[in-house]
Structure 1
């Protein structure tokens, strides 16, 4: 499915493209899609934001739901809710489903949570991954990164910044690897805060206080939180230099401390916390083209304690049109509309007049030709 305009609905819109399952969505346009009501994603979808020309794609004005979606991948999309979105709702939410990946996405300005993955009663929510992404500036007075309460989530190489609390609030089963948490106010990473069992793995994360930080870095621990942690650092002096200390067992309070993970978590190649800070600074978010909002929070992070603030209304940031301008660009020619540009097909002996070859596998590696093209766009 080709997104051919920036309209909220109708033929050629993103809303129309995601209205049915079993679709790969590519973008012939770049820019801001202003939505008045929530977008609902479906199962077996690939949302290939990396195909958008110009400055990429920003979804602005309301929130999005992935509840009920499974086997869905979203890459290089900016989700910016804002003060005009539905009161008490999240920028990105999911209550049931499985096997969803958000890769190089930027999430901000939630009116409740910014990323809430909260398993509803009687449902299953598992095998979720947020990687190389940004969760930023949940709107006051309920400014949160969000609740992660699932049977299995991985948050990897991502940035939580300028959220009052819940960076994230971790319940259920969560591995949290090589992330950076900056300028929380009352609570950083919340260790369960519940009598129900939770299982956590924290490796190589960096917690860095900002101008507003006054609350706990590792907050609300209970013995019900079963934790294995290693290589996590805490920088509290707000002096503009990355010079934190290693967090030890005592910093995690009353959790049940384990010498090995309590769950068979998926293997993730881990960096040091210092390497994670450099990686997140350079690569997190929809980083093919940085927009005003991501540059703003990354500049705050680079101050290492000297700049940073939560907000109540994104208009206070002064971006034109609420989110700032994005160049539209021009998509390459795709005569057969199979999602693969003609030039790419010709260079690989595919037929730019045969749409069916998108699902072929020219090199026999198990990935379709379309999948290989989409991956080739990612730095």
Structure 2
């Protein structure tokens, strides 16, 4: 064999050997991948599984913390998460919360800590299962509590959850409303149920089925021809009554009803004053034959003429009502029920039920949230006045009743269920409310903080957390039968025997944006000064109801027999124009100039501000007051 032939044999042999070695090496490398679990990659999960701190309340005096933790990303199942508290000396306290969270779910956590000095930092750490073993992830979010530049937390508008508007609090404060959507103008006071005209309120609320922000460029009273029903397809809307010129806007004669799965609604600075001059009557046959709406069930009952002012019912959720005024309802004034969830009613006036139009001539009720399926509802900093009962009446849910002012109602400050069939689980936080008797308050017997003709479900009694409530006579002296150290002293004996063993000593639920809690006396002053549709101005009706509190006056007699409803003039000057808005984006020129926007560019109204993650149109609206 010549050298060339030998060389080729050696070369081919080496190639075979190398090939075999290569295959073996590849097989060796691949085998663990195919037959053993892939090593867990924490950095990978750092990117795809994220939990953040969305709100914190710290009580340093009692070493107690309430916080909300929200999951914003990832498909993996959490086994638990850790809350790590660190003080200025870098000593730590670790609290473990068990259980998984779904995407966008929020979990409320409350605990006491010990052994720490002044808190410096709060962190949350996810723990999840991989191949049967718990793996601790990385810190994605933390709160630095030192203040100054070092303690500043910058917003990330892509992930951070902001309240519906600055000042939104409670269970409904996550509502996004129509943020980022179309800007729709109400330019007239017309109403037509069958053919809503463009520029009308009914057209804006029910004919444009996309996210939208409602701006009023007209002042006055809108006399509805029938109920204004908003259903699921009408969701994602923000209604801003404070944008109206003149003295604002009033909605009259029929209610606004949110139902049929409607969700994500923001209602600010609106007035709904229902009223009617019709006596009660049964429905006509023609009305029964034309029944084709969700409210037609009412038509077969002997209450055709009965209507509230504002209703939230039948699966409606994610709703916040702020600085609004409701009166002259013919049944209750503001009510709802039927599996509603994540609701906030705040800084509003609910008062002066109508004494006309109901089969019961002295009905005049406040709020009734019926059914057993209601969930999270917050009522705070509201004024309830001149109502006979149901102030409110609540049948189920985790309910925050905080810093409300109740004046001159006939009986029963807060009413529990009268029908066991309607009762669900009730967890009640009744905190720092102010209850004042007046001329129409029943003189005989005790005015119950918790009233009602039934003791509710004795196998599952409501659980109540009482704290800081104040009950006074008409001259604001303490009532003789109420012991502030025993808040169950205002609960009937038969109810007290069942409820008191279940009373709580702490909050039931902390919302993502917790309610700012004042003392009862502070709440009295703040609510009377600020509640209701105070923008553009507080109207004569609200002014009278508030003045009643200071004067110790007010009667359940509106309207007087034979009288009519007196709707205040919303444009007394006769010249109520919307400010100059060259690009018709809802933001007046003067504000665009002052804030370095382009008054010839309608697109910039929907652009997001890096300063607070709200759109420019939202920032303009909230700058009004």
TM-score scaled by length of structure 1 = 0.91
Please identify, of 102-111 and 131-140, the stretch whose mean Cα deviation from structure 2 is larger: 131-140
Structure whose CA Rg is larger: 2
Name which of 206, 218, 233 aligns with 1:29.
218
1:76 paired to 2:269: yes
1:11 paired to 2:198: yes
Give 1:292's aligned residue: 540
Name which of 348, 369, 372 aligns with 1:148.
369
Task: Please say if residues 191 and 223 of structure 2, whose CA atoms lie closer than 8 Å, have aligned partners that are also in contact.
Answer: yes
Where does 1:196-215 land on structure 2 (aligned, <5 Å)?
Answer: 196=423, 197-214=425-442, 215=447
Deviation at 1:264, TM superposition (A): 4.3
Deviation at 1:362, TM superposition (A): 3.9
CA distance in 1, matches of 2:506, 2:525: 27
Please identify, of 271-280 and 35-44, the stretch whose mean Cα deviation from structure 2 is larger: 35-44
* Deviations, residues 258-301 of structure 1 (Å, cap 9, x unaligned): 11234445521200000011011100000121111111111111
* Deviations, residues 183-223 of structure 1 (Å, cap 9, x unaligned): 11132211344543211101110111111111534212555
Give 1:307's aligned residue: 553
* Deviations, residues 110-160 of structure 1 (Å, cap 9, x unaligned): 1111111211xxxx3100111000001122332111212421110110011
Task: Please say if residues 277 and 564 of structure 2, whose CA atoms lie closer than 8 Å, have aligned partners that are also in contact.
Answer: no
Any idea what SS the aligned residue of 1:344 has? helix
CA distance in 1, matches of 2:387, 2:269: 22
Please identify, of 344-353 and 127-136, the stretch whose mean Cα deviation from structure 2 is larger: 344-353
Name which of 275, 278, 282 aligns with 2:525.
278
Task: Please say if residues 192 and 225 of structure 1, whose CA atoms lie closer than 8 Å, have aligned partners that are also in contact.
Answer: no
Where does 1:115-130 land on structure 2 (aligned, <5 Å)?
Answer: 115-119=334-338, 124-130=339-345
Task: Please say if residues 606 and 615 of structure 2, whose CA atoms lie closer than 8 Å, have aligned partners that are also in contact.
Answer: yes
Name which of 416, 425, 431 aligns with 1:191.
416
CA distance in 2, matches of 1:270, 1:179: 11
Please identify, of 6-15 and 177-186, the stretch whose mean Cα deviation from structure 2 is larger: 6-15
CA distance in 2, matches of 1:242, 1:34: 43
1:227 paired to 2:410: no
Task: Please say if residues 62 and 84 of structure 1, whose CA atoms lie closer than 8 Å, have aligned partners that are also in contact.
Answer: no
* Deviations, residues 72-130 of structure 1 (Å, cap 9, x unaligned): 101000010012486122111121211111100000111111111211xxxx3100111
Where does 1:92-111 land on structure 2 (aligned, <5 Å)?
Answer: 92-95=310-313, 96-111=315-330
CA distance in 2, matches of 1:187, 1:364: 46
Deviation at 1:230, TM superposition (A): 0.2
CA distance in 2, matches of 1:264, 1:276: 20
Name which of 257, 282, 299 aligns with 2:503.
257
With over 3 angstroms needed to count, the CA separation of the structure-2 counterparts of 1:25 and 1:104, relative to structure 1, is same
Name which of 388, 391, 398 aligns with 1:167.
391
Task: Please say if residues 448 and 490 of structure 2, whose CA atoms lie closer than 8 Å, have aligned partners that are also in contact.
Answer: no
CA distance in 2, matches of 1:312, 1:302: 19
CA distance in 1, matches of 2:549, 2:558: 19
Give 2:227's aligned residue: 38
TM-score scaled by length of structure 2 = 0.56
CA distance in 1, matches of 2:558, 2:564: 13
Task: Please say if residues 159 and 181 of structure 1, whose CA atoms lie closer than 8 Å, have aligned partners that are also in contact.
Answer: yes
Task: Please say if residues 109 and 314 of structure 1, whose CA atoms lie closer than 8 Å, have aligned partners that are also in contact.
Answer: no
CA distance in 2, matches of 1:14, 1:349: 31
With over 3 angstroms needed to count, the CA separation of the structure-2 counterparts of 1:23 and 1:315, relative to structure 1, is farther
1:52 paired to 2:244: yes
CA distance in 2, matches of 1:316, 1:128: 38
With over 3 angstroms needed to count, the CA separation of the structure-2 counterparts of 1:188 and 1:249, relative to structure 1, is closer
Task: Please say if residues 171 and 198 of structure 1, whose CA atoms lie closer than 8 Å, have aligned partners that are also in contact.
Answer: yes
Task: Please say if residues 227 and 261 of structure 1, whose CA atoms lie closer than 8 Å, have aligned partners that are also in contact.
Answer: no
Cα RMSD, aligned residues only: 2.1
Give 1:248's aligned residue: 487
Any idea what SS the aligned residue of 2:239 has? strand
Gaps (5+ residues) in structure 2?
1-183, 279-303, 356-361
Q: How many residues align?
A: 368
Give 2:568's aligned residue: 324
Any idea what SS the aligned residue of 1:148 has? strand
Deviation at 1:43, TM superposition (A): 1.0
Give 1:344's aligned residue: 591
Any idea what SS the aligned residue of 2:450 has? strand
Gaps (5+ residues) in structure 1?
none
